Chain A
């Protein structure tokens, strides 16, 4: 009898613990169950009511961007003493951590992250709210709407499928070829406007046994920048994404997909890439640029900030976009737009307050701090860029068209994108030929959509 009682006690205890573990964390899966996204309705807190906003950030607390964000929050709390912030500096895995938190029923009001990842991870999963109503309001102390202050065209790049705006960019990255002006002066060359001019510069440098480009051999995300930018120059924005979404794979028969791969290989064949580049582990490639072992590197606009403490004294940062290619539809003035931004989560009870904070943070003075304190490009058009990013900012402001990183494949069809990176990396480093690469991509694309 006692044994039976004890067994019942253990079972009941166990059931209670298991039930507690289950709960919201893992809702019992129901076959085909669906949940309509909430309408995004929010109840504004009464004036003066204390509000604590829960904010998750992609930055680590020690990074310059975190200092800027802390300043913005501090300024907002000073102006609105009833509003405070609970910040989690979650780092680049913020979405991974958020997924667990949301599943566990934890409340988060808003977060920041790379725009394409926000769109692909949260916006299309119905986890965020549209912010168009707020964007059409005027900014405090300025006679302009919030929508009008962004670098033209950038806000529209990450809209949801229904055209509504969920991602608010505060910082812009882009991809360009970065170089030290002094090195170009030494070789008496100017930034090229065409691919042929670029190859001529490469030959000039090669004649002096100096490689034009350094690369990060293990960073296939960096190396793929050559390919999707070349496809953009040949075919215009969106064509790589179209090929990726072509269930028949026929798009890969377009000769430009092969030509772009062959042009990448000519960089190797003509000795334009640093010797042993395929084996350089990040950040060895960019350190080679900082140490003047190579003239340039194709990479994101974070580079000047990342190596600012390593470059030789007097290093003069300049950049140019991947140049035009013969007969190309795209232009060297087309710019990759890579926003870092915020979204407000649909379960937030403080959407109005968060939106007000975001608007306040995009004042000209605050936006300028992105340029001055974190050495980056602000999403606000009327800021003064840091010297190192002057060329890239000018390109942004004069862009003839925008295209997303990886032509949007990483945010739209990330699994396909992983396969693309694999085969591209193999081709780029010479493990397979450009012809084999195109054949692999065609087959992989067909397989992917089966």
Chain B
């Protein structure tokens, strides 16, 4: 009897959030999918139905391919760097080190700085004439390796480093939160068995937080593919060089023109649809890779 009454209560409690979700997420998504089949400047009419032409044009669009390549580069290469460093620090910080919270705070710090400030710092670091990076190389006798780090051919890897620098702390905190849930007696048992720090991490920590890693990977994938602000801020002048395009930047360039009057809202919607499709596919893929039986401890 009580269960039946409680079930009735679920609907009114669920309805407001469900309606908001449908209105502000599902409806715009469907609308965007529909818009991708039209040619439209965004300035009222005319709106012309062109079927899949926008998607066909994407395949021939070199600038779209640059944006796609950059977004995937950020996800894969940036992800590799972020998680390699985050895992090393997780291993280090779960080894019983003192001042763990201090190090965690230091690593998280870039996340609390405004992106524009972060970018300004890195522009100074990359400056080829008096920048910190070339200066450091000079000091340690490797001056011959000094570069124009943010030159057009290297601009996206340079941006990827900035994003990784910010993101490492964020994902480290998540990994550490997961690792903190592992019972101490499992580590104690490992130590009794003679496991070193690396073995403890590889054979105890990593398997025990495997499901959390899966979720973190999805979070990073979404964060990487929707990256806009750092690449935009790094261009400084408001005109992002094509070499620094990501998919979201290209959506804005084609749909809203930024400072150039392009205004192809249907085409921009098609790019958005591709982005959505990639996110869905990669999410399913990551969830499948990280799927396993729940651990009880």
A contact set with B: CB distance below 8 Å: 6, 10, 13-14, 17-18, 21, 26-27, 29-35, 92-93, 95-96, 99-100, 102-103, 114, 116-117, 119-122, 125, 127, 216-222, 274-284, 288, 293, 410-411, 414-415, 417-419, 421-422, 425-426, 429, 431, 444, 447, 450
Question: Quick check: A281 and B153 within 8 Å, CB to CB?
Answer: no
Those of B1-38 within 8 Å (CB) of chain A: 11, 15, 19, 22-23, 27, 31, 34-35, 38
Residues from chain B with a CB closer than 8 A to the CB of A95 are 256-257, 261
Question: Quick check: A418 and B238 within 8 Å, CB to CB?
Answer: no
Residues from chain B with a CB closer than 8 A to the CB of A293 are 129
A341: min CB distance to chain B, Å: 14
Residues from chain B with a CB closer than 8 A to the CB of A447 are 60, 62
Question: Quick check: A415 and B262 within 8 Å, CB to CB?
Answer: yes
Residues from chain B with a CB closer than 8 A to the CB of A93 are 238, 256, 258-259
Question: Quick check: A411 and B234 within 8 Å, CB to CB?
Answer: no
Chain A to chain B contacts (Cβ below 8 Å), 15 pairs: A14-B22, A27-B45, A92-B238, A93-B256, A102-B44, A103-B43, A117-B261, A217-B148, A219-B236, A279-B126, A279-B128, A282-B236, A414-B257, A414-B260, A418-B260
CB-based nearest A residue for B146: A276
Question: Quick check: A444 and B150 within 8 Å, CB to CB?
Answer: no
A431: min CB distance to chain B, Å: 5
Q: Is B48 an interface residue (CB 8 A)?
A: yes
The distance in angstroms between the C-alpha atoms of A221 and B239, with both chains bound, is 7
CB-based nearest B residue for A216: B237
A18 and B23 in contact (CB under 8 A), knowing A92-B238, A275-B129, A418-B253?
yes
Question: Quick check: B46 and A32 within 8 Å, CB to CB?
Answer: yes
The distance in angstroms between the C-alpha atoms of A260 and B218, with both chains bound, is 48
Question: Quick check: B35 and A218 within 8 Å, CB to CB?
Answer: no
Question: Quick check: A10 and B257 within 8 Å, CB to CB?
Answer: no
Question: Quick check: A21 and B27 within 8 Å, CB to CB?
Answer: yes
The distance in angstroms between the C-alpha atoms of A122 and B19, with both chains bound, is 37
Q: Is B41 an interface residue (CB 8 A)?
A: yes
Q: Other than the known A125-B263, A288-B129, A410-B260, what 9 A-B pairs have Cβ atoms closer than 8 Å?
A: A32-B46, A33-B48, A99-B257, A125-B43, A127-B43, A277-B148, A280-B148, A414-B260, A422-B66
CB-based nearest B residue for A94: B259
Question: Quick check: B151 and A279 within 8 Å, CB to CB?
Answer: yes
Those of B246-261 within 8 Å (CB) of chain A: 252-254, 256-261
The distance in angstroms between the C-alpha atoms of A360 and B251, with both chains bound, is 40
CB-based nearest B residue for A275: B129
- Residue of A6, A33, A410, A429 touching B45 (CB-CB under 8 A): A33
Question: Quick check: B46 and A422 within 8 Å, CB to CB?
Answer: no
- Residue of B243, B252, B260 touching A417 (CB-CB under 8 A): B260
CB-based nearest B residue for A99: B42
Interface footprint category on B:
35 or more
Residues from chain B with a CB closer than 8 A to the CB of A102 are 43-44
Q: Is B143 an interface residue (CB 8 A)?
A: no
Question: Quick check: B241 and A218 within 8 Å, CB to CB?
Answer: yes
B137: min CB distance to chain A, Å: 13
Q: Is B105 an interface residue (CB 8 A)?
A: no
CB-based nearest B residue for A221: B239
A33 and B22 in contact (CB under 8 A), knowing A26-B31, A279-B148?
no
Residues from chain B with a CB closer than 8 A to the CB of A34 are 45-46
Question: Quick check: B152 and A429 within 8 Å, CB to CB?
Answer: yes
Q: Is B127 an interface residue (CB 8 A)?
A: yes
Question: Quick check: B151 and A217 within 8 Å, CB to CB?
Answer: yes
The distance in angstroms between the C-alpha atoms of A184 and B238, with both chains bound, is 32
Q: Which 5 A-B pairs have the closest CB atoms?
A: A279-B148, A276-B128, A121-B261, A120-B261, A422-B242
The distance in angstroms between the C-alpha atoms of A114 and B38, with both chains bound, is 29
A288: min CB distance to chain B, Å: 7
Q: Is B171 an interface residue (CB 8 A)?
A: no
Residues from chain A with a CB closer than 8 A to the CB of B46 are 32-35
CB-based nearest A residue for B11: A6
Question: Quick check: B241 and A421 within 8 Å, CB to CB?
Answer: yes
The distance in angstroms between the C-alpha atoms of A278 and B153, with both chains bound, is 10
Question: Quick check: A99 and B263 within 8 Å, CB to CB?
Answer: yes
The distance in angstroms between the C-alpha atoms of A217 and B15, with both chains bound, is 54
- Residue of A13, A103, A116, A283 touching B236 (CB-CB under 8 A): A283
A431 and B152 in contact (CB under 8 A), knowing A99-B42, A103-B44?
yes
- Residue of A122, A218, A221 touching B234 (CB-CB under 8 A): A218
Q: Is B40 an interface residue (CB 8 A)?
A: yes
Question: Quick check: B40 and A29 within 8 Å, CB to CB?
Answer: yes
